[in-house]
Structure 1
C-alpha cells in the first residue's frame, strides 16, 4: 500500500493526537473531516469498540456529515436485542473476517442487513466495514478486542479503489490513537467505579503514595441495611446478593444522582460524602437530604409486593474529615476517617433505638426548616458530649 504526502499529513496528526489525551469523538470527527479533504466522499462513519465497564459492553462514535459526531454506549443487555443480532458488525465478528462491503446502489440486490437497507433507502450507495485488532481488556464473551469502523457514501459510483486503500491505510493509524484513548477511558472508569469519583481522580493524578491525603469539609452519608445478618443466614447466596444489590441501587444510586461520592461499601453499609468545598454547606446538606429521602422512598417502592423486607437506617452528619490513602504498601484504599465518620456510624445505630429510618444533626436539620423534629440529645459511644438528633416530621418524601 503506497502512501503520499497528503496521507502522511493525516498520519502525523493522528500520531500527535495519540501522544496526548484526545476526546475520542473529536478524534474520529477530525479523521472523517480529513478524509473528506482528500476527496473521499464519506457522509456517514461509525467507530465501535468493546470496553471494560460494569454496565456497558461496547461504545461507539457515530459521525455524519450533517450532524457531526455523537458518542454512544451499549449496555450489556443490548447484545440480546434483535438490532445487534442482525447487524453487520456482529456478522463480521462471527465470520472472523476483517472486512465486509456492500454495494447499496445495485438494483434488485438485498444488502442483507436491516441497517444497510435503511442506509440504501436514505440514498447511500456504498458501505465498507473494517476491523482493526488491538489488545485491550473487555467484557465481550467472544474475547474480541480492537475496533470496527464503518464508512458509507452517497457518491453515485461508491468508493473507488484509491479511496478504499486510503481509508484502510489510515484506519490502522486511527486505531493506534483510539487505543490510547480507550485505554485511558477504561482506567478512569475502573478507578471511579471501584474507588469513587474523588478517589479515582486522586489515583489517576498521581496521589498514590502511602499517607497521601487532605482535610475535607463534608456532609457524611452513612447507611446500613436492616436485618442483614438474619437474611444472610436464611437466604441462598444468590438471593441474598440480589437483595443486597437492590438496596445498594436504591441508596447508593440516590447518592450519586444527588452529586455525592460513594467511598466504600462496608459489608452492607454505605459510606458516602457530599463535599462542602464547591457550593458550601447549605448546598451539600440539601443534596445529602435529597439522597437520603430518595433512597428511603425507593426502598419502600422496591419492597412493595416483594417477599423480603427492605429497610435501612440512614444518618447524616458533617464536619472535617481526613480523606486519604490508607492501608499497607501493597494494598491501599482511599477513604475518609475521623470523628465525623465515627459519629455518623453511631447516629445510624440510634435509628433503631428511636425507630426512625433517618436521623440528622441539628445543623443539617436547620437546612430544611419545619421538616424535622428534635428527638433529644444522646450520648454516642466514644464521644464525650451528647449530640442532638432530629428525625423527619411525618412521612419521608423526596
Structure 2
C-alpha cells in the first residue's frame, strides 16, 4: 500500500510459505521506491488495468520485472496481481495484492475462484488497517509518539491534562533571523530542517519528545517522577551534548559548500509543568505550560550574554550527576525570583 508519511512512500507485507512474515516500510529514495517502475503493479497502473497474470514458468515478465525473475529462480510458476481501489474519501489510493504459486501448471481454476472471492475481503481489511495506521502515523508526526498515544486514548478535551515533573530542553538557533535577509525562503527552510533533524534525533534517542517547533526554537521534555529525576536530567544532558557536537559537524560540512555557520544554544531546566490540551474550542495544542517553561525561555536569552551554548538552571544542575560551574545569579524578565545559572565544568564538557 502507498502511505501518507513524511519518510515512507509505502508499506508492504510479505508472506512466504514456511518462512517468516515481514513488514517493510519503503523510505523515499530507497531502492524499493526507485525501482517501483520495474514492477507489475506500475505496469497495471500505467494501463489503467486492475488485474494481471504472468505465467512465470513460460518466462512471462521474467525479463521485464526483477521481482518475477526472483520468483522464477525460486521455483515460481504463476503470478497474480490485483489492484483494489479505496473509497474516494480516503487519501490513500488503494492496495495491491499479489500471489505467486509454485504449483506445476500454476493456479487451477478452483484456486482462481477462491482468490477472486478472497481478495476483496483482504482489500477491505487493508483499508481498515490503512485508515487506522495513517491516522496514528500522521498524529505522531505532528504531535510526537507519546503525545499522540494520549490523544488517541481519548485525552482530547480542552483543559484536560495534569501536572508532571519533567526535564526541559529548549534549543534555539543563534542569530537565525539575520539569515532571512541573505537567503531565499526555500534555503532557510532547508537550514531549519537540517538542524531540527539532528535535534530531534538526539532528543528521541534519549527517550525525550519534541512538543513544539517555535520559529527557530525547539521545545522538548523528558518526563520523570520523583524517583527518576536524575535519570531524566542525564538523558536531557546527553541529548544536549550530542546536539551541540552534531551541530558542529553539520556546520563544518555546510562551510565546505560555502554555506553559513548556524550555532545552537541549549538550555536545560527541571520543574513542574502542566501537560495537556490548551487552545480554542476547535483548535487545540497538546503541549506544556507553566513557570518552568517560561523560566527556560528566559534562561535561553542569557546564552548570548554569557557567551555559552549550554546553560542549566539550579534545579537541573543540582540534580544531574555531573560537575557544574556556577555562573552567577540573574534576573529573568517576568520572573520574580533571581535565577542561579550554571554551565558544565570545563573538564566535563
Q: Same fold (TM over 0.5)?
A: yes
**Which secondary structure state, in structure 1, belongs to the residue aligned with residue 132 of structure 2?**
helix
Deviation string, structure 1 residues 81-109 (Cα, Å, up to 9, x no partner): 65322122222222221112111222698
Asked if 1:356 corresponds to 2:308, the answer is yes
**Cα distance 1:396–1:53, how it changes in 2: closer, same or farther (>3 A)?**
farther
1:293–1:396 Cα contact (<8 Å) kept: no
Give 2:126's aligned residue: 178
**How far 1:190 moved relative to its partner?**
1.3
Give 1:248's aligned residue: 196
CA distance in structure 1 between the partners assigned to 2:348 and 2:242 by the alignment:
9
CA distance in structure 2 between the partners assigned to 1:60 and 1:361 by the alignment:
48
Deviation string, structure 1 residues 349-381 (Cα, Å, up to 9, x no partner): 111111111111244334554553222222222
CA distance in structure 2 between the partners assigned to 1:67 and 1:392 by the alignment:
53
TM-score (norm 1): 0.81
Asked if 1:203 corresponds to 2:151, the answer is yes
CA distance in structure 1 between the partners assigned to 2:190 and 2:7 by the alignment:
16
CA distance in structure 1 between the partners assigned to 2:40 and 2:343 by the alignment:
57
1:99–1:130 Cα contact (<8 Å) kept: yes
Give 2:287's aligned residue: 335
**Which secondary structure state, in structure 1, belongs to the residue aligned with residue 15 of structure 2?**
strand
How do residues 113-128 of structure 1 correspond to structure 2 at under 5 angstroms?
A: 113-128=65-80
**Cα distance 1:80–1:216, how it changes in 2: closer, same or farther (>3 A)?**
same
Deviation string, structure 1 residues 333-360 (Cα, Å, up to 9, x no partner): 1110001101111111111111111111
Deviation string, structure 1 residues 149-172 (Cα, Å, up to 9, x no partner): 111122122211111121121111
1:63 alignment partner, one of 15, 24, 38: 15
What is the aligned residue count?
Answer: 343
**How far 1:277 moved relative to its partner?**
4.0
Give 1:375's aligned residue: 327
CA distance in structure 2 between the partners assigned to 1:201 and 1:152 by the alignment:
38
CA distance in structure 2 between the partners assigned to 1:278 and 1:61 by the alignment:
43
**Which secondary structure state, in structure 2, belongs to the residue aligned with residue 335 of structure 1?**
strand
**How far 1:382 moved relative to its partner?**
2.2
2:271 alignment partner, one of 311, 319, 336: 319
1:78–1:84 Cα contact (<8 Å) kept: no
**How far 1:62 moved relative to its partner?**
1.0
CA distance in structure 2 between the partners assigned to 1:184 and 1:117 by the alignment:
34
Structure 1 unaligned residues grouped into runs of 5+: 1-48, 139-144
- Which range moved further: 376-385 or 150-159? 376-385
2:213–2:219 Cα contact (<8 Å) kept: yes
1:104–1:111 Cα contact (<8 Å) kept: no
CA distance in structure 2 between the partners assigned to 1:58 and 1:98 by the alignment:
19
**Cα distance 1:204–1:178, how it changes in 2: closer, same or farther (>3 A)?**
same
Asked if 1:159 corresponds to 2:107, the answer is yes
CA distance in structure 2 between the partners assigned to 1:268 and 1:69 by the alignment:
43
- Which range moved further: 222-231 or 73-82? 73-82
**Which secondary structure state, in structure 2, belongs to the residue aligned with residue 54 of structure 1?**
coil
**How far 1:80 moved relative to its partner?**
8.6
1:86 alignment partner, one of 23, 29, 38: 38
Asked if 1:266 corresponds to 2:233, the answer is no
1:51–1:137 Cα contact (<8 Å) kept: no
**Cα distance 1:305–1:109, how it changes in 2: closer, same or farther (>3 A)?**
closer
Structure 2 unaligned residues grouped into runs of 5+: none
**Cα distance 1:99–1:347, how it changes in 2: closer, same or farther (>3 A)?**
same
